[in-house]
Structure 1
Amino acid sequence: MRQVIGGHDALVVVDVQNDFCPGGSLAVADGDAVVPVVNEIAPRFAIVAMTQDWHPAGHISFASTHRADPFTAIDVAYGSQVLWPDHCVQGTAGAEFHPGLRVPHAQAILRKGYQPGIDSYSGFREADRATATGLAGYLRERGTQRVFICGLATDFCVAWTAFDAADAGWPVFVVEDACRGIDLDGSLERTFAEFARRGIQRISASDLE
């Protein structure tokens, strides 16, 4: 499915950070394999935004905050919250972008999940589904007509970002070989089914021209 990239297409690079790569506290299997693919495709886009998980210590999404086991879930004010190992804590090496990432022309870096009591998978809206991050406004002001998404992890932060981009009215494309998933209790299969339902297209880097 060839896609000719134009000046009004935007690339959103989601959470390619040390803690989500091998050796990190919440490593996605083969997560660092996305880095060279992102480096390859990013220069084709005139509009590039990057998201960065940026949690305070004691964040609501941390299992340690609740003295619970990681990867379990609890009910919070905005719904069910998966509890994760502490990750991407503000100012730590784990929160930094992968050192091999080369996207110097990215114009916007959006930090998310910085509120202690609300998680934020999506680059567009926090997990309460009401608090906007400002990314949609930025992309609109740049004249974005289509949104391409890559990064970590396919079935969580990439997926939620894609869902919200589609809800905002953009045609959305997920560059699959520039993503890796967690697959927690079948989450990857559910994500792909939801992509299909919402008309979000799954493509590869080789489809981009």
Structure 2
Amino acid sequence: MIDAGTALVVVDVQNDFCAGGSLAVPGADEIVPLVNALAARFSTVVLTQDWHPAGHASFASSHPGRAPFEEVEMPYGPQVLWPDHCVQGQDGADFHPALELSAAQAVIRKGFHHAVDSYSGFVEADGRTPTGLAGYLRERGVGRVVIAGLATDFCVNWTAQDAVRGGFEAIVVEEACRAIDLEGSLARAWAAMTALGIRRASMAEIAAYSIGPKSGLHFSENSDAMTKS
């Protein structure tokens, strides 16, 4: 098992983001077995769940004359308009049926305020409304989060960045994520994460080692790879 001070945060592995969903991320279904394998190694596992009311302000359908993937200004800043997705109580909001949920101790729902979107598992898009995830992790003695899920350039990216801003170390398992990549959004996301000191790890690195503070492992300052000291 990974040390108890490290939690796995699984971001939005939900039907609407997977094959056949209204906002399907290319290759999303491929990460499900990887996420299941990761979850078996952690004593603290948290799932985030997009949970929008019908007619949410982030939906293109709520803005007459606008199309999905256009951008508008909201009171909290720029907002990409999405197809209706992850609507409360609908099948699209459910977790992928093959996602192994038995290891998860908490589900953090986000995006349920009608006028505010929420990519991050930690803070709503207004930048000031917490989801409660940071407090939960601190009470569990967690100081580091390993992140997997959907989509790399949006909800994974924002979750990782807000983890660091909240005082946590953050590691993203790149193979266990998939991206939307709107006009270069994936490259911009990785640049922003790297600038904050967020590290990439591979499935092999997580599988081969404990990454606890006494494990003798560290990240090279000049590489995204985990190395053994």
Q: Which residue of 2 aligns with 1:62?
A: 59
Which of 29, 44, 48 aligns to 1:47? It is 44
- CA shift at 1:7, angstroms? 1.4
Query: What is the total number of aligned residue pairs between the two structures?
Result: 206
- What secondary structure does 1:44 align onto? coil
Residues 2 and 43, structure 2, Cα contact 8 Å, conserved in 1: no
* 3-state SS in 2 of match to 1:94: helix
Please give the secondary structure, in 1, of the residue aligned with 2:40.
helix
Aligned to 2:176: 178
How far apart in 2 are the matches of 1:116 and 1:188?
27
Q: How far apart in 2 are the matches of 1:76 and 1:103?
A: 35
Q: CA deviation at 1:113?
A: 0.3
Structure 1 segments of 4+ aligned residues over 6 angstroms from their partners: none
**1:72 Cα offset (Å):** 0.2
1:80 aligns with one of 74, 78, 81: 78
Pick from 9, 16, 39 the counterpart of residue 19 of structure 1. Answer: 16
Under a length normalisation based on structure 1, what TM-score does the superposition of the two structures give?
A: 0.97
**Counterpart of 1:119 in 2: which secondary structure?**
coil
Q: Deviations over 1:85-112 (max 9, x none)?
A: 0000000000000000013121000110
Query: Given the alignment, which residue of 24, 28, 32 partners 1:31?
Result: 28
User: Greater relative contact order: 1 or 2 (C-alpha under 8 angstroms, separation 6 or more)?
Assistant: 1
Q: Percent identity?
A: 61
* 1:149 Cα offset (Å): 0.4
Match in the other structure for 1:133: 131
Q: 1:205: which partner in 2?
A: 203
Structure 2, gaps ≥5 residues long: 210-229
1:11 counterpart SS class: strand
Task: Give the distance between the partners of 1:196 and 1:115, measured in 2 at CA.
Answer: 30
Of residues 93, 98, 107, the one that matches 2:96 is: 98
> Which structure has the greater CA radius of gyration?
2
Residue 8 of structure 1 corresponds to 5
Give the 5 Å matches for 1:115-154.
115-154=113-152
State the distance in 2 between where 1:90 and 1:196 align. Answer: 34
TM-score (norm. length: structure 2): 0.89
CA distance in 2, matches of 1:145, 1:164: 13
Distance 2:143 2:160 in 1: 14
**Please, what is the CA RMSD of the aligned residues?**
0.9
After superposition, give the CA deviation of every residue in 1:126-179 in whole Å (9 maximum; x if it has no partner). 000000000000000000021100000000000000000011111110001110
CA positional deviation for 1:5: 2.2
Structure 1 CA distance for aligned equivalents of residues 51 and 158 of structure 2: 17
8 A Cα contact 1:17 1:98, kept in partner: yes
